A and B are shown apart, each in its own frame.
Chain A
Amino acid sequence: MKRRDFLRSTALASGAFMVPAFLKPLEAMAMSGLTGYKNLVIIQLSGGNDGLNTIVPYCNDIYYKKRNTIAIKETDVIGLDDMQGLNPNMAALKEIYDQGWMSIINAVGYPNPDRSHFRSMDIWQTASDSNQFLTNGWIGRYLDATCQTNKNPYTAIEVDDTLSLAMKGDKMKAIAVQDPNKLFQATREPFFKNLVHSQNSEHLNEDNLGYLYKTMIETYSSANYIQSTSKTYNVTAPYPNTQFANQLKTVSKFINSGLQTRVYYVSLSGFDTHVGQQDQQGRQLKTYADGVAAFVKDLKQTNKLDDTLVMTFSEFGRRVEQNASNGTDHGTANNIMIYGGKLQKAGIYNPAPDLVTLDNGDLKYQVDFRDVYATVLDKWLNVNNNLVLNKNFAGLDFI
């Protein structure tokens, strides 16, 4: 091999020549800034998942009375305790539950619940009160609050094409990466590269043009870092062939390759089941459960489960009584499902929802969702929850 060729191939392989010198300190700092950190994986079920047909109160007569055509038959339910059990489409999670890697928090919601999708999703993503409008998300504010140590957009990654409000702070924003290779290629188009190299990040102005170039340079740098790090690891564990499972597989790749990322965000859509709920929701729950079970087992195998916490939420649960089209309408409080290797309190965390005392036919919340967030912030991400939630929440003790 000629010397010149050798130089070229090593330079390309390491990527060192590709990264402009001014970008390097940024990445070096990030490497040392975080030690022994843990990952949080947030799974959003969009559309308002019917929690009562997910974690089924199969020993409650009222449930069967109010849902005479869409209730899950007692004989089909996979019992967890003497009150509640899993929807049969979630059979894959039974093993996870039995291992003590799953915790279910019942009746999570907030005061004065809003039953519109977009408003309630907004409330969950921004962690606001129901009459308050915030322009940044709770993970975004976590990034803002810790920007001294978490300097890079890839501190939080959404496995998607676009970024959710939850992931946007005022100073810092997460990065959306559906496919690390695609993102890398896009940032390496010659004209894009030229523009990035035309700027020196230390001399950028504070004005909007400076902000745009800063975002561009960070994207360029992050794309390189994510691509070159994640490609060192191949996921060998089996995953189902769904887009959702693929996204979790990507998260596994990121975690196992040692990416310096603390929060991952994944969504699964299609839970707004006003009509013919059983098939629709069953299909989605199977996709969800099979994907999550594969993910949790994969992480257990690679010794990452103890450092990972998975949290699943939906913007609201659904009305206790079914509607006339074998579906359910928008409701309020719902369950949150938590997974991890180091749960303080595995299993069912608090009593099953009260089906007697209702708020206009909907469940009354027992746990404020921000107490769940506070727990994660305080005990998992190690930041004072009032810095992110703007007031102090006591938190719970599932971790």
Chain B
Amino acid sequence: MRFEDLKKYKNASINKALRELFEHSENDEPIAAVTQTVDQMMMAKADADTKKKFFQMERDQEKNLNIGWIDKMSTTDATLREKMTLFWSNHFACRDNKAIYMQQLNNIQRSNALGNFRTMLIQVSQTPSMLLFLNNQQNHKGHPNENFARELMELFTIGRGNYTEQDVKESARAFTGWGFDKDGIFQVRKNLHDDGVKTFMGKTGNFQGEDIIDIILANKQTARFISTKLYKYLVNEVPDPLHVNTMADVLFNGNYEIKPLLEFVFTADWFYDDKNIGNLIKSPIDFIVGLNRQFYITYQKPDVLLLFQRTLGQELFYPPNVAGWPGGRSWIDSSSLMYRLKIASTVLDQGLIDFTGKADPEDEAFLATVRKQQQVVDTRVQANPDWDKVFTDIPKDMSKMEIADFLLEPQLNATIQNTVNEDNDLKIMVVELVSTPEYQLY
């Protein structure tokens, strides 16, 4: 939240603030950072130099897409939609080196972020990136590839322990033939599709892919699975079974509509319990985007945004595997915490960067073609916070302690209170406050 938001909502009721939050998030304008496809068919025949150029072009596109999204999250008014897009992009975690496909998937997650889970699930499952990532292009009648069917149940809908190996096999048959043509358009390739009778989760019929999805959604465990994950994302990393169950009721009875579920959560008493305030660990993206938003930061070299993501352990579009980032305490180790405390002041105070994140394993092909490895960046960050705007936004009657209270969600300990009392320069105080462990929580 920004100081300007504080001004606006200081005396507003929760209901009014929520109404505006949802209204602003009606805007679902897609990302259009990537416009061209890199033709991989040509790549197979290309000589070494052309290949190098292709690699470079792919990387540039991935970079533009990444920064395009960071930029959107940092500046949009549709904050809830972006927050939920981030959630779904981790729920339906996917990787593909075709940036244009990843952009398409991301835009589907955005347009459905507050919509209907079933619609989103089907659309996501039919994107080239997901079909490729989970090998459904190779799922053929007579030679089923079970990867998609398995992850559909294990990670996207119902969770482990709620289906059998036989269910995996039978549902894989229903998805045979799901694929896409050379233009990336989804199609059920009739000659590859298994039209036979399948028995899935106790039901028997000539099931198509959509039928399987409907059977899974008709099991309330799916609503519980999604609700648990969402609770951990929005409320507390330790799920309260009672609260999760009421969420599952809302989701299930509302035919998997997401917006009513969010309204329910945000108006629940327990959402505002002390133990649910300032106890979630910000993800690296939450942290970076939060700083950008609160201090209206512009970057002369947006590449540092990628460096920050890598160093802190969350690079957009590069989840660790199909299960996504585990989140919570796994974000924090000695080095990532140190960098968080340091990055804040680096960005706000024109500091030096003298660290380098690890390259993603998928970057190795590119790295192999460049002679010099891992050059250590030792350079000015060249970020410009808009301090004037920050200071004008702070309500006139706000005391230093109230400012600190606003910036840090957890209770202020004695050392922080002393810092606040002793700092005469407001800017120094703010930089110090965002360089604390407390600032990593929300």
Contact = CB atoms under 8 A, between A and B. Distances in A.
Are these two chains actual partners, yes or no?
A: yes
Interface residues of B, number: 64
A246 B248 CA distance: 54
A175 B329 contact: no
B332 interface: yes
Interface in B326-383: 326, 328-330, 332-338, 341-342, 354-362, 364-365, 367-369, 371, 373-374
Contacts of B332: 211-212, 215
B51 interface: yes
Nearest to A191: B432
Nearest to A223: B334
A175 B333 contact: yes
A211 to B, nearest CB: 6
Contacts of B328: 208
Contact of A209 (B279, B354, B364): B279
B364 A271 contact: yes
Interface in A166-198: 168, 173-176, 178, 182-183, 186-187, 191-192, 194-195, 197-198
A216 B368 contact: no
Interface stretch (B29-37, B295-303, B317-325): B317-325
Size bracket of the A interface: 35 or more
B279 A161 contact: no
Query: In the complex, which of the residues A135, A162, A197, A274 has the most CB atoms of chain B within 10 Å of its own CB atom?
Result: A162
B365 A215 contact: no
B401 interface: no
A222 interface: yes
A288 to B, nearest CB: 12
A273 B279 contact: no
A136 B332 CA distance: 13
A270 B437 CA distance: 36
B333 A208 contact: no
A238 interface: no
Interface stretch (A56-64, A91-99, A115-123, A296-304): A115-123
B341 A176 contact: no
Contact of A133 (B322, B342, B432): B322
B405 to A, nearest CB: 15
Interface string A234-245: 000000000100
Given A191-B435, A194-B419, A212-B332, 11 more contacts: A47-B368, A116-B362, A162-B335, A173-B334, A208-B281, A209-B279, A219-B337, A270-B364, A271-B368, A273-B368, A275-B48
Interface of A: 46-48, 116-119, 121-122, 131, 133, 135-136, 153, 160-165, 168, 173-176, 178, 182-183, 186-187, 191-192, 194-195, 197-199, 207-209, 211-213, 215-216, 218-219, 222, 243, 267, 269-276, 280, 283-284, 315, 324-326
Interface of B: 44-45, 47-48, 51-52, 95, 150, 237, 278-281, 310-311, 313, 318, 320-323, 326, 328-330, 332-338, 341-342, 354-362, 364-365, 367-369, 371, 373-374, 410, 413-416, 419, 432, 435-438, 440-441
